[in-house]
Amino acid sequence: MTALILIIIPCIGALMAALWPSDKTRPWLLPIFSLVHTSVCFWFLTRPPMFEPRDWIAFDPLARAVLPGISLLFLGIACYAVSYLRLAPRKNRIFVTILLLVLGLISAGHQARHLGILWVATETATLACVPLVHFWGTSRTLEATWKYLLIGGTGVALSLLGSICLGYASLYGGGSGDISFLALLENSHHLSKTWILAAWILLLVGYGTKMGLAPMHTWKPDTYGESPGLVGALLAGAVSSVAFVALLRIKAIIDAAGQSSLTSSTLMGFGLFSIIVGALFLLRTRNYKRMLAYSSIEHMGILSLAAAFGVPGVTAALFHVWSNGLTKGALFLSTANIHRALGSASLDKVRGTFMVLPKSSALLMAGMFAITACPPFAPFFSELKIILAGISTGQGLAVALMLFGLFLSFLGMSRIVFSLVHGRPILKQRPLNHNIPQFKETLGVILPSLALLLASLGLGLFTPDILQNAWALAAQQLFTQP
């Protein structure tokens, strides 16, 4: 029952948002219910609730290691949304309702201990984001929405087929066909090897599509480039994390069946390819919103690579889910301010933002240094732990390629950000004929980004023991082999 609380809270908020009569006050439901959700998450972090091993939904060690960080990110997004939606000349009933519903679905996905429930929660969250991506209703957002829907739908189908194959692996191995993770683990040594191979490939490609791993990443640039910044933060830091956690749970089953070399080699291959692809696109793009999409591809690759480095790598990957989510959230919100004020994401049309939007530009620069693993921000320490895990498991070549990709990413992102913030302004404000109020750097649009960035800084400087223990416990319970 305790696990359901984290699903029920945002669902109640979504119902209230759907019935709330005022567009002006409805956005305040977001931070209110998000604060309650975050408080409960951190309460459960410090006092883990009891659950039965055969529960299909539970706040288990893996949920405990990730969900509080996702909830904290959502709280920052929710606080930003109040000011963001106040400036939007569109109705917000659907937007607010779906945001809260997605929080409930993410909570269900992270706590799912049954392959069917995991699939339903993950895919519903993915599809629920479609109206959020299309919020502005332009022709470009329509194109991005269709690309997100079609490619995401392919991932939905493949992950469903993979789930069915894993069920058949249990049946052909003498099991009952029960696809709860506990039942699959208990029957892992008897699972059909042929069906396991088919299941892993389909599930990896299916959930990898939702993560945005290359080459299944093609939906990300358009989706992040055309959707509101807070939606990009939600997709990059929260929705993608559910897919990654799904792969970790599935990898534990395949590894227990004696196929750890298969899972590790494929995750390593997709991870390294994603890191390099993201870095190369960062070197050539001239769109600062697409920059965040390519950075997200790179960081999903880092998570995938870390998962191939055994228990130390998974522990570091769970740390990186927090550090990447908080930092990427700050970046998306600060770029949202710039785009909202100036109306373009192209470096050919926007320059010298320090003179026009000094606070947002400063946050963008700080966030750029943070996400490119500059100390003392959290991504530096999480990526350092991933590197050390790779070295300790004898994967020196993979670590070297990762470092090369990180170097290219730093060059690409610094080129874009410095070109954006320095120089003489080309646009001083969005043209008045857009029927949108002039943007001002109020506390409502600055503090959420600043708070997320400070959280990333604090997580790097003072990583609490309770979090380190939670990450280590989750990794050890999933994978007993180093």
Asked if pLDDT for residue 6 goes beyond 80, the answer is: yes
Phi, psi values for residue 180, rounded to 5°: -70, 150
* Residue 435 predicted with pLDDT over 60: no
> Does the pLDDT at position 174 exceed 90?
no
Question: In whole angstroms, what separates CA 381 from the centre of its chain?
Answer: 19
Which residues does residue 287 pair with via DSSP β-bridges, in sequence order?
346
Mean pLDDT, residues 443-463: 96
In this model, does residue 425 exceed pLDDT 90?
A: no
- For 142-167, write each residue's pLDDT tens digit: 999 999 999 998 998 999 999 999 99
The alpha carbon torsion through 84, 278, 221, 343 (nearest 10 deg) reads 50
What residues contact 23, with CB distance under 8 A and at least 6 apart?
A: 91, 92, 93
| Residue 294 or residue 349, greater confidence | 294
Dump pLDDT digits (tens) for 37-68. 999 999 999 999 999 988 999 999 999 999 99
pLDDT, tens digit (0-9, with 9 covering 90-100), for 376-420: 999 999 999 999 999 999 999 999 999 999 999 999 999 999 999
Whole-model pTM: value is 0.96
Domain ranges of the chain: 2-478
In order, the DSSP letters of 128-146 are HTHHHHTTT--HHHHHHHH
Residue 338, pLDDT above cutoff 80: yes
pLDDT at 433: 45
Q: Tell me what pLDDT residue 89 has.
A: 72
The average confidence (pLDDT) of the chain is 93
Paired strand residues for 180: 114
Q: Residue 479: pLDDT above 90?
A: no
pLDDT average, residue stretch 248-271: 96
Could you read off the pLDDT of 176-200 as tens digits, one per residue? 778 899 999 988 888 989 999 999 9
DSSP string, 244-276: HHHHHHHHHHHHHTT-HHHHHHHHHHHHHHHHH
Identify the pLDDT of residue 161.
Answer: 96
Contact 226, 455 (CB under 8 A): no
Residue 427 phi/psi, 5° resolution? Answer: -110, 130
> What percent of the chain stands above pLDDT 90?
83
Residue 428: its pLDDT value, please?
54
Residue 482 confidence (pLDDT): 37
Going by pLDDT thresholds of 50, 70 and 90, the confidence category of residue 369 is: very high
The pLDDT of residue 480 is 66
Q: Are 247 and 271 a contacting pair, CB within 8 Å?
A: no
* pLDDT > 80? residue 436: no
Q: How many Å apart are CA 201 and CA 158, to the nearest integer?
A: 9
Query: Which distant-in-sequence residues (6+ apart) come within 8 Å of 218 by Cβ?
Result: 147, 151
Looking at the predicted structure, is the pLDDT value of residue 108 above 50?
A: yes
Quick one: the chain helix, strand, coil %, rounded to 5?
Answer: 75, 0, 20
| Rounded mean pLDDT, 440-446 | 91
pLDDT at 468: 97
